[in-house]
Amino acid sequence: MSGLLVSVIIFLIFLEGPIMNKPNFFDDIQAKINQAIENSPAKDIEKNVKAMLGQGFSKLDLVTREEFDVQAQVLASTRAKLEALEARVTELEAQLKHP
């Protein structure tokens, strides 16, 4: 893409003539480069790739980072409660064996 951009700039310089004759030369060049980029196949390819990725991701059961973090906190809390319950069950079993 950068090779194409350089070629476009050189071509536009030859079309415009001497730089000294045109006070808005760089603004014009920038506008023409932006127009060339907007009309290039690269823009269409970028749109198509984004659309394909969006479709692919929508088919997967993905969650946001925030949802993941919330579920990680719920899991940590659940593990702590489970460990406390296991300790309590062990304690009660010991009491039943040795009244």
> What is the domain partition of the chain in residue ranges?
1-61, 63-99
Provide DSSP, 57-76. Answer: HHHS----HHHHHHHHHHHH
Tokens linked to 36: 């060339």
pLDDT of 18 over the 80 cut: no
In angstroms, the Cα distances linking 41 to 37, 48, 57 are 8, 11, 24
Look up the pTM and report it. 0.42
The string of pLDDT tens digits covering residues 39-87 is 777 677 777 888 888 787 777 777 888 999 999 999 999 999 999 999 9
Element of type H or E holding 97: helix 65-97
| Predicted pLDDT of residue 35 | 76
Which pLDDT band holds residue 94 (cuts at 50, 70, 90)? very high
